[in-house]
Amino acid sequence: MVAEQEDDWAPLTPEQLAQRPWEVQAPVDAAEAGFAEVAPKPTPIAPLPEPAPEKPLSACQEKMVRDLQERVAKAGPGNSLIAQVQRREQRWQRKQKAATRVAGQLAATCVIGEAPKAPEPEFEIEKQTDMDPRELEPWFQELPEVERQRLRERWTAERHKFDHTGKAWRSRMKRAAAYGTMSFAVTGLLMSFLFMDLMVLLSCLIVGPFAGMVAQLLGGERFTYGLLGLVGFVAAIGNGIMLPFAWYGMIFSIATMAALGMDGEMRRAAGCRDD
């Protein structure tokens, strides 16, 4: 033990202040000086307090808890962002469990070796009288239903594109003949009373269909129908055209036939079918 220790906090003397850095004596080590190291004393740990005993809930508190549980059950799943994330996580976990279970079942039932070849599909096709032979080929059966329907319609149109040739033309001729017969029938009926001769009505009924069809062949316009009304009336009346009251019948025939021609023009101008 050192009898006397210098105080580290004491002010330096003039001799110590005049010393150079390498002339200052190093501090004395505690072990060399004979000081014994003292181990720190462990701090005693205070024991944790014992948890307070649970107090039983009163009847009022139990009723409040039951009411809260019922309200939560009635409210259903929440719509908040946290609830949506929780449901998404639960759904993903269920999918993972199902995938693991199915993978285990497949591994248990897996057959070692080559799998048997699947039987080729058999297509049941009802043979139709108007069916294209290409519909029985395998490549046609592998197409989607929409594409198959499109090809059926196209092939059917190619097979029957000449079936209705002249049908529209015949329909127009029939309508024109009916128009001419109707117009000249009314005109012939009026003229037969004026001439007191039913032969006028018969001649008008004969001339009317031809006048209507010729007017349709020449274009089917109102001027064409009106011109054929004049020509047909002169052919039906004959020599009686020189009588004064025959001019009224001629004007009536021209007007009715021109009206029928205008009806056809209006139908075509409006985009209606003329067949």
Select the more confidently predicted residue: 7 or 105. 105
Would the pLDDT of 8 be above 50? yes
State the Rg of the chain over Cα.
59
The amino acid that residue 23 corresponds to is: E
Burial environment of residue 31 by CB neighbours within 10 A (0 to 12, 13 to 18, 19 or more): exposed
More confident residue, 254 or 32: 254
pLDDT value for 29? 54
Q: Is the pLDDT of residue 138 over 80?
A: yes
Q: What range defines the domain where residue 189 resides? A: 171-269
Name the percent of the chain lying above pLDDT 70: 77
- What's the rounded Cα separation, in Å, for the pair 208 and 221? 17
pLDDT per position as a tens digit, 247-273: 888 888 888 888 888 887 787 777 666
Region 177-196: mean pLDDT is 86
pLDDT at residue 240, as a whole number: 77
In a domain, 258, yes or no: yes
> What pLDDT, on the 0 to 100 scale, is given for residue 139?
87
Q: Structure pTM? A: 0.40
| Domain presence at residue 137 | no
- pLDDT value at position 3? 45
Positive or negative, the Cα torsion across 155, 160, 162, 167? negative
In a domain, 20, yes or no: no
- pLDDT above 90 covers a percentage of the chain that reads 0
Band (24; pLDDT cuts 50, 70, 90): low
More confident site: 4 or 61: 61
Average pLDDT over residues 27-33: 52
If you average pLDDT over residues 171-184, what whole number do you get? 86
Confidence band (pLDDT; 50, 70, 90) for 2? very low
Q: Cα dihedral sign for 240, 243, 245, 251?
A: positive
- Residue 209 placed within a domain: yes
Query: What is the predicted pLDDT for the residue at 274?
Result: 60
Is 1 within the bounds of a domain?
A: no
Instruction: Answer whether residue 143 shows pLDDT above 80.
Output: yes
Q: Tally Cβ neighbours within 10 Å of residue 122.
A: 7
- pLDDT tens digits, 39-94: 566 677 777 777 777 778 788 888 888 888 888 777 766 677 787 888 888 888 88
Rounded Cα gap, residues 47 and 44, in angstroms: 9
Q: For position 195, what pLDDT does the model report?
A: 80
The mean per-residue pLDDT over the stretch 147-171 comes to 79
Is residue 166 included in any domain, yes or no?
A: no
Residue 265 lies inside a defined structural domain of this protein: yes
Judged against a pLDDT cut of 50, whether residue 125 lies above it is answered with no
What pLDDT shows up at residue 273?
61
Residue 118 lies in a domain: no
The count of domains in the chain is 1
pLDDT at 1 over 50: no
